[in-house]
Structure 1
Amino acid sequence: MSDWVRETLHRDYAQSLRVDEMLYDSETSHQRLKVFLNGTFGRVLTLDDVVQTTEGDNFIYHEMLTHVPILAHGAARRVLIVGGGDGGMAREVLRHNSVEHVTMVEIDAGVVEFSKQYLPMLSAGAFDDPRLNLVIDDGAAFMRNTSEKFDVIIVDSTDPIGPGEVLFTDTFYGHAKRALTERGILVTQNGVPFMQGGELTNTMRAFKALFTDWTCYLATIPTYAGGPMAFGWGTDGDAGQVTVEELEARFAAAGIETDYYTPAVHKGAFALPAYVARLMP
């Protein structure tokens, strides 16, 4: 299987993707980066052979981590993205003309540079948008030290191994809460609950202690194998009670087209299967 990349993130389960052509394979000071062509998913980015994003299905992940909190908030002007070096998250946030400023904190400058070259369709010009402030820094250190306030904070982290591990701690979430505005919303990538249940439970335990409104919502992303992915949600505002009618009005006013997100999907994503609900503390 030399023409396949095998992902072994989980102990008892693995997925493989065919490599039609290897476009990039190099080690940075933080991790090993690969970009290759796959017949179904187009260009695929892996870090240490774990799939991070693909040309084919990235829209699901990026739409659900951006449009859900931004449209639920209704008046988000300042957004912080932690991670997201491929630029896909910034791309979706910046589609909202109402967003005035985006700070993106990425630990690895190498990810940004090679994404511009090998995955330009993911950022789609986001790095050239004057509203974007790209900061190369450790996300945990930035969150600890920042005095800025944000309406929405999106944690677009890798899995809780290696450089991404510190982004799943109670301390990090506490610093994120401090950096939110009064009605601000924190959303996080929390893995596939069927395979990574402990990861979700630990995050939700921290959110329960920090926020009056805490839960998770789900989306199914083909290359994040093992079932639907969970996204953490925490706020002290009332954004979780927004009606589908209000979401429809905000979505129409935003004037954006999506391939996964709809107001009905937004509301339905918070309906948790029993096995996921049992992972909540």
Structure 2
Amino acid sequence: MTNSTDDTNKTDGTGNPAIGLLTGKVVFITGASRGIGAAAARLFTAEGAAVVLAARSTDALERIVTGIRAEGGVADAVPVDLADRASIRAAVDRAAQLHGRLDGAFNNGAAIQRPGPLDTTSDEDIDEQFAVNFRAHWTAMTVEAALMRQGGGGAIVNTSSIGSRRANPALPAYGAMKRALNSITETAAVTWAPQRIRVNGITPGGTATEMIDAWEAATPGIIEANVARTPLGRMAEPREIAEVAAWLLSDRASMVTGALVPVDGGAGA
């Protein structure tokens, strides 16, 4: 495997020069076919990482991989169904087969529920939210940490949500599972710290992704309302969320573990 570590002419996607934040690291990313995950794939490779991208949409993943390789980066695609624990284990195992180790993991994949109040949320929605937004992260973290221990440590970042930090009447099951994710993120950080595995979470606010577009289609006006609640006065771009994940995965964040970092333009302040 040849890893491109010459960042002289690379940028982070905004025109800013890449600084090699993740040089030499192997990073696994779920939910990598679109939105924050796709932005992370491009940013992490610009910053020197070799990435293994996982999602259900393998066609979309292959397009991202092709683009990264065309820029001299190292990327591979693996299919994953986050509702299937065996599929998650197989995807992480594939990362081990490709690179022999794992230095970082960005557990970003998620499912959105059908918007609606708690008393009309279906059993099917609750089951899906549990499987994808909670249990999948538990499974992924466990197998990722096992692989990281073999290399002497690593870093994990879980994507939670601003909706996990307060009441979430529009998305009650989603908010509940993301709050549970916060708990296991903190627990994993304390449990695995002696093995030099750092675990942190990010809690994005409104972000310009396909997920919020689907919410807008179901609940017209949600984007406008979200912007109105955000002191910075706009939605985040996916890359802006990925930037925080990149720092948390890097050695620059070597003393940060068990943190839930807001990336919400001040909406949660």
Q: Could you tell me the TM-score, scaled by structure 2's length?
A: 0.42
Larger proportion of strand: 1
Larger proportion of helix: 2
Q: Could you tell me the TM-score, scaled by structure 1's length?
A: 0.41
